[in-house]
Amino acid sequence: MQPERAILSDTNSELIKTYCALQTDPDSVIEELDSYPNDAEFFNYIRATRPRSLFTIAARFLYLNRTCWNGLYRVNKKGRFNTPFGYYSDPAICDDELIDEVANKLAHAKLQVADFESSIKKARRQEFVYCDPPYVTVHNNNGFHKYNATLFAWKDQLRLARAAVELKSRGVHVLVSNADNKSVISLYRGFTYYRLRRFSLIAADALNRGNVTEALFSSYPVLGCESEVI
């Protein structure tokens, strides 16, 4: 979309620091990342490190994303990344052109580590807010509540829905992507509901991978898309 003015926020400080590094010094990120090999021993070493400079934080974040199992971002209770090595033959660890493209798109964005409520509460009429909370795709069962308990708990889903409804009442354009889960759908009364299908790789057993559905909740109609008003 590349708006002239944008705010991007997340509670994941490593993600936001990565964005900041790409925004301010993409060449240093590329130089660092380009030296990282696709090697299990090196992967485990990098996974255990805690870099301090922005460009090394970004290089670590991107490297782990490109070489870990299915690109899955997962941390333990201590906040340490714990997804194992992916054993890919030739992953695209450093894509110079993509990094430069992202840097250009981030040029006019304000980046902040913050909870979503504080980030969107000042949105004004006719402005656009998109929320993409963490969620699982194995929906309509207890797994939705179980596996999101520490990352984005049910109480956070309730907060998000209330915030979205409040924004809609003030004339803000709101779009929320979420799990296609009956409990979640019930939170967005008055919104337009879209069911999307995509292919998911997130499953330990390849036989359990395949097409999954996700939900979009919109305060405005998305042209050309089949929908229903909740």
Structural domain spans, the chain: 6-110, 117-229
Q: What is the pLDDT of residue 207?
A: 46
Cβ 193 vs Cβ 228: under 8 Å: yes
Instruction: Give the pTM.
Output: 0.85
Residues 6+ apart with CB under 8 A from 13: 113
Pick from 208, 190, 216, 65: nearest CA to 143: 208
Phi, psi for residue 7 in degrees, rounded to 5: -125, 125
Token pair for 1: 């979309």
Multiple choice CATH, 117-229, 2.60.40.730, 3.40.50.150, 3.40.720.10, 1.10.490.10: 3.40.50.150
Q: Name the stretches of the chain with pLDDT < 50.
A: 139-143, 203-208
Query: How many Cβ atoms are within 10 Å of 194's Cβ, its own excluded?
Result: 19
Q: What is the pLDDT of residue 136?
A: 59
Element (H, E) at 180: none
Query: In a 10 Å sphere around its CB, with 0-12 CB exposed, 13-18 middle and 19+ buried, how is residue 6 labelled?
Result: middle
Q: What is the pLDDT of residue 140?
A: 43
- Topology annotation, domain 6-110: Adenine-specific Methyltransferase; domain 2 (1.10.1020)
